[in-house]
Amino acid sequence: MPGLHEECGVLGIYSPTRTHIAEDCFYGLCALQHRGQESCGIAVNQDGLFRVHTGQGLVTDVMTPRVLSLLGEGNMATGHTRYGTNDTRGRVHAQPIVVDHQKGRMALCNNGNLTNYNELRAQFESQGFIFHTTGDAEIISCVITRERLTARSIEEAVVRAMAYLEGSYTLVIMSPKKLIAVRSPRAFRPLCYGKLPGGGYVVASESCALDAVGAQLVRDLGAGEVIVFDKNGAHSHLYAGTVKRSMCIFEYIYFARPDSVLDGVSVHEARARAGEQLWREHPVEADIVVGVPDSGIDGAIGFARASGVPYGLGFIKNKYIGRTFIAPQQGDRQSALRIKLNAMSATVSGKRVVLVDDSIVRGTTSAKIVNLLREAGATEVHVRITAPPFLNPCYYGTDISSREHLIACLMTTEEIRRHIGADSLGYLSVEGVRTIAAPIPPGDFCTACFDNQYPTDIPATLQRDRFAQPLVRVEEPA
């Protein structure tokens, strides 16, 4: 687990008229690419006719001009970018998933992780259901279609299905005539919607996707809210369950793009406030503050703003090296980092440097970055982290599967400092991190990965091994 990853990004577009909607969906997904790079997909609805394409890879590689042309025009579309956890990878898990049921057809995209997946899966299997994936989206579609058999509408079926779903999920669902957006009752993951100039609507995991397609942000969905977009406009329904709101704080620390606004709070400003609070908790004498690209930069700006120590450009990131770059030999990993990231000696040489980053997971990369600064001439390197130490696995969609991968579970802060070669090391406190997204109340966040205070019952295991026996698909070469 070289770094932290979030599950997915979801997108939906509704237009009152038929347009080249696949292209708009493409632009929106490109804006959500940071939320998942393993696979992606788009489904287009043209008067009840669904066209869908999914594939492994980045949006620009999978959704080629020819594919977008074949998806054609329509008045509704759903899109998805995915990062799969270890037991849910491969093209078979790409979304949207499209299902046919007794009352019609449905395309569904999900972002999140069900904590009662194993129980629901066993229940449906005992009733004769057959599954093709180990992903949550297929289970959620089963619950919705079961409820649809007796519900008066698809939205009623969705609201009823929410009573059976535990954990985190945000959904974009497309029926032949409606686009439906769903945010789970605890609001673990973000979801917002905006309005297009021509009267259409866009729903997305982050507001940056609305900007990409020219939509004006209206608001974020509330906890447990279901919004239906159809020929009559936007209609809100609310799941009646009463649970405590528990939004993932790491959306503000790392996952979301800094230009996004989540629940009315600028991600950039939240990260800058984290840097300010970090200075108050762990001040240090220094000459320059630098941030690790990309998510450490906003925190570094805030640290510099609060401390009065100048902010400087400490690293240049090679934007042409993607996530798929692999060093040819195990011993070349340091060279691989140098290709991706290079320290600015003109900024740090002969200076006491504060290095701000969003997290330390295993410590390997942090040690190499500290070494890059020392080789560039830094006389001291003081590491400051805009999150508390990771101590617990996440059950709600972040790829932190076990304590054995977390350096903070194996070493004390002082031992980690020596391990990464820093002159000092300071983490933001749990109390401090809960305040960075004000005016959202501190109690409205999930910080279980830091403090072990899980807002739901947790499963005995994150793994789905019983359902994940490997299937090898053999295809004739093109």
Question: Which are the catalytic amino acids?
Answer: 8
Contact 360, 2 (CB under 8 A): no
Cis status, amide bond into 294, omega within 30 of 0: yes
- Compute how many other C-beta atoms are within 10 angstroms of the C-beta atom of residue 350: 9
Q: Given the DSSP bridges, would you call strands 192-195 and 216-220 parallel, antiparallel or unpaired?
A: antiparallel
Q: Which of 179, 312, 188, 192 is nearest to 235 (CA)?
A: 179
Q: Which two tokens stand for residue 63?
A: 């959704």
Q: For residues 205 and 8, what is the distance between their CA atoms, to the nearest angstrom?
A: 9
Q: Which residues contact 397 (CB under 8 A, 6 or more apart)?
A: 6, 7, 8, 111, 112, 113, 168, 188, 189, 248
Contact 170, 32 (CB under 8 A): no
Helices (H), 239-343: 250, 267-281, 297-307, 333-340
For residue 290, CA distances in Å to 104, 313, 478 come to: 55, 6, 49
Which one-letter DSSP state was computed for residue 213? T
**Which amino acid is present at 18?**
R
φ/ψ of residue 108, rounded to 5:
-135, 135
Q: At what angle do helices 154-161 and 136-148 cross, to 10 degrees?
A: 120
Q: Which of 217, 167, 222, 242 is nearest to 448 (CA)?
A: 167
Element (H, E) at 77: strand 74-82
Whether the CA torsion 248, 253, 257, 259 is positive or negative: it is positive
Sheet holding 380-385, edge to edge: 288-291, 352-357, 380-385, 424-427
Q: Which residues contact 172 (CB under 8 A, 6 or more apart)?
A: 10, 11, 12, 78, 108, 109, 179, 180, 181, 182, 203
Q: Which two tokens stand for residue 278?
A: 């970090």
